[in-house]
Chains A and B, each alone.
Chain A
Amino acid sequence: MADKGNDPAVIWQTMIGEMEKGFNSFANQAMASPEFSKIMNQAGGAAAGAQKQFGEMMEKYLLSMNLPSRAQLVGMAERIQAIEGQLNEIKSLLQQVHHNSLAPEGGYGMTPRPPRTRQPPPEGEKK
């Protein structure tokens, strides 16, 4: 086999790796400046502002079309979620009651669990 120093594939991979490192390091230096933060956040802020205005406009449009807005659907989802939460609580209470009253030690229909007796292997022993 040709030695690694002359292998074009290895040279190519090393070059890509070095370029990646160099570019990352250069970009990190540039991104650490307050100017970068200012420009990045101005652009981000403008996009968020535009999104908010568009959302408000859509809400008015939906209202005029007699359709529920996103905020109304979110409100409804919140109520459904609260109901789901209560159902979950009831379900777990029922499971507890059922488990306590019916199941013998070890439980019905449940996979038997291993005993909690494990000890760490003595120091130096390979597992």
Chain B
Amino acid sequence: MNAPTGFDFASISERVQTEVQRAIQRSIKGVEYFSTSGPTLGSTPKDVLHSRGTMNLYHYRSQASEVYRVPVLIVMATTNRGYILDMVPGMSFIEFMLKRGYDVYMLDWTAPKPEEKSLRMEDYVLDFIPDSIRRVQQDSGEKEVSVIGYCFGGVLSLLYGSIFHDGPMKNLICFTTPIDFREMKLFSNFSDRRYFDVDRLIDSTGNMPPELILQSFDMLRPASRAAGQIQLWDNIWNDEFVKSYRMFDRWASDILPLAGEYFRTITKDLMWDNKLYNDTMTVGGHEAKLENIKVPLLHAVAEHDHIVPYDAAKHLITKIGSEDKEEVMLKGGHVSLVAGANAIKRLWPKLDTWLGKRST
């Protein structure tokens, strides 16, 4: 039987000493927190290959002595900044890919300006992505390109792949990509067609304001922001915790507005009519059926994803037309799947093993 440890005076004194030290550290580090700006993110060396309005195409400078033949284009989600995949050195997915010998490009977004409110789904799927692919082909000298789509970037990649199914996409990797929008229960309820007048909203605001998008993300876990701040105060003596908190908090609050017409289509076609799942989606008159996609597919989903629940993502693997396809469920949430310590250990090596042998 274990002896009771509750009255171990030596350990209590040790614990009190630690707590006093931490309290002092909290005061010092707390001042430091407000007087510094946090780590620099997205600093892996890159060149801007092309920039047009909301669209930016980057090429990351190689960090390996030889690279795989097939270049990789990452399509970022339109609500978020691409630096989630390029945090600080040692925690950057981009850096990891470069060191593992991939030639990496990224289609990233800046906030659409008021005059870009008329950008439609067609502009993203039939113009921005094909234009980026063309430029990647031109820059790399290779005909085939692998595409990685994160969250809604995955939806855009699927729409692209289902329309341009004759190539040049060689492999498709989707991270936490929803296709059954009915299963995004809370978002679905927030945008209930009986009460949510998307036309009125977009007609009066032009673009979908980022504050509203951030609010709807926060509402999925309304207590988490406050709890996060309490955790930050508890751990403010811990430099690693603070660094990580600042990186993720900055990214999570750095939400982009969505072009008005584009948001209208997302609401009506995807949220209301669930057209991608029902095989009735069209973009600019082109049928976008998932069964048209025949390239190898890897779909990575997170066990505790509160933004894209598994039920919203699980049908991709059955509906896609590819024979070479794999779904991998990993521990973590919507963000920790792709970035941070969890991703370094789980997703990144898995992706490398899967993509490496399909990139020659």
Contacts and interface: CB of A to CB of B under 8 A. Distances in A.
A81 to B, nearest CB: 6
Given A2-B5, A116-B69, A41 B195 contact: yes
B90 interface: no
Q: How large is the interface on A (under 10, 10 to 19, 20 to 34, 35 or more residues)?
A: 35 or more
A68 interface: no
A7 B352 CA distance: 42
Contacts of A27: 219, 222-223
Contacts of A113: 62, 67
B350 interface: no
B204 A23 contact: no
A55 B204 contact: yes
B285 interface: no
B212 to A, nearest CB: 8
A90 interface: no
A27 B203 CA distance: 31
Contact of B66 (A2, A33, A75, A116): A116
A11 interface: no
B252 to A, nearest CB: 16
A84 B116 CA distance: 14
Interface residues of B, number: 60
Contact of B12 (A2, A23, A77): A2
Contact of A16 (B113, B189, B227): B227
A34 B189 contact: yes
Given A31-B219, A85-B52, A16 B196 contact: no
Contacts of A55: 204
A85 B224 CA distance: 42
B189 A31 contact: yes
Contacts of A42: 195
Interface in B182-229: 185-186, 189-190, 192, 194-197, 200-201, 203-205, 212, 219-224, 227
A107 B200 CA distance: 53
Interface string B52-73: 1100000001101111110000
B205 A48 contact: yes
A118 interface: yes
Interface in B151-194: 185-186, 189-190, 192, 194
B100 interface: yes
Given A16-B231, A23-B223, A34-B194, A116 B103 contact: yes
B101 interface: yes
Given A7-B15, A55-B204, A74-B114, A119 B360 contact: yes
A115 B360 CA distance: 12
Interface string A36-52: 11101110110011011
5 contacts: A9-B234, A20-B224, A37-B192, A40-B195, A48-B205
Interface of B: 5-6, 8, 11-12, 14-15, 19, 50-53, 61-62, 64-69, 100-101, 103, 113-116, 140, 142, 185-186, 189-190, 192, 194-197, 200-201, 203-205, 212, 219-224, 227, 230-231, 234, 352-353, 356-357, 359-360
Given A19-B227, A85-B53, 4 more contacts: A3-B5, A31-B219, A37-B195, A117-B66
Interface of A: 1-3, 6-7, 9, 12-13, 16-17, 19-20, 23-24, 27-28, 31-34, 36-38, 40-42, 44-45, 48-49, 51-52, 55, 70, 74-75, 77-78, 81, 84-85, 88, 92, 111, 113-121, 127
